[in-house]
Structure 1
Amino acid sequence: MENKFLELDKIYAYKRAFTLSNYIWNIIISWDFFSKDTVGKQFTRSIDSISANLAEGYGRYHKKDKIKFYRYAMGSLRESIDWNEKSRIRKLINEEQYFHINNELRELPQEINYLIKFTNEKLTI
């Protein structure tokens, strides 16, 4: 019998972070050179790092390694909140985009914390 939770693309936090990173990529790709080179690169790196760290943690064998990368994802999430705020203030994104990104970034910590809790409780090594 196949355990769906153990497949990376079935982990809700990963799917949500991955989808959000592509949403933001599609916004940033149309910015002018200066905006892309300053805010855009940083925002893209931080937002991509959320799902990348979740994936890396998923691929680790030991519980402590997994949780360490899930916590790195949380740090990247906090950085992405900062870049989202800067993008709004600098008028690089519109209000609708800002609120969509903000809502996703505000809900993701709960999903990542659940993943950390699940890993901590269910894995023995």
Structure 2
Amino acid sequence: MVSKLKDLEVYKLSVEAGNIIWDIVQNWNDLQRRTAGDQMIKAVDAIGANIAKAYGRQSFRDDKRFREAKRYCYIAGGELEEAIHWIRLASMRGFFKPDELEKISPMIKTLPEKLSDYIKGFGSS
């Protein structure tokens, strides 16, 4: 098990994705920001926040806290799906520049697998 949250790969990836989305959305016009941008930022930031909650509740000696931790991982997965939804809509509406999508796409493709691996690892420590 990773000894610090900041060293957890899935957490680092989610924070990096959040920072990239934040930087991109800052350059959008007001309508783009208010409609898709704000929702996208909230969803992407919530991925890392829920991973942090899960990490903080991991206790393999306490079944209730273990279930709680796993639940937060599933919530992070839901937030990831929401973020992908907003990214897809913003892309369809032409909000992104091509190089911006190139920055975020690899992370969005990798995050579901990393999150799934993290969930599968629960209880194996």
Give the Cα separation in 2 of the matches to 1:74 and 1:7: 21
Give the Cα separation in 2 of the matches to 1:105 and 1:40: 16
Amino acid at match of 2:81: R
Structure 1: which 5+ residue stretches go unaligned?
none
Aligned to 1:54: 51
Q: TM-score, normalised by structure 1?
A: 0.88
Q: Percent sequence identity over matched residues?
A: 26
Aligned to 2:110: 107
Q: Deviations over 1:70-112 (max 9, x none)?
A: 1111111111111111111111112232233222111111111
1:16 to 8, 13, 16: 13
Task: Give the number of the structure with larger relative contact order, counting CA–CA contacts within 8 Å between residues 6 or more apart.
Answer: 2
Amino acid at match of 1:63: F
Deviates more, 1:69-78 or 1:102-111: 102-111
Where do 4+ consecutive residues of structure 1 move more than 6 Å? none
Aligned to 1:27: 24
Structure 2: which 5+ residue stretches go unaligned?
60-64
Q: TM-score, normalised by structure 2?
A: 0.88
Give the Cα separation in 2 of the matches to 1:72 and 1:121: 21
Contact 1:25–1:44 (CA<8 Å) still a contact in 2? Answer: yes
- What is the alpha-carbon root mean square deviation over aligned residues? 1.3
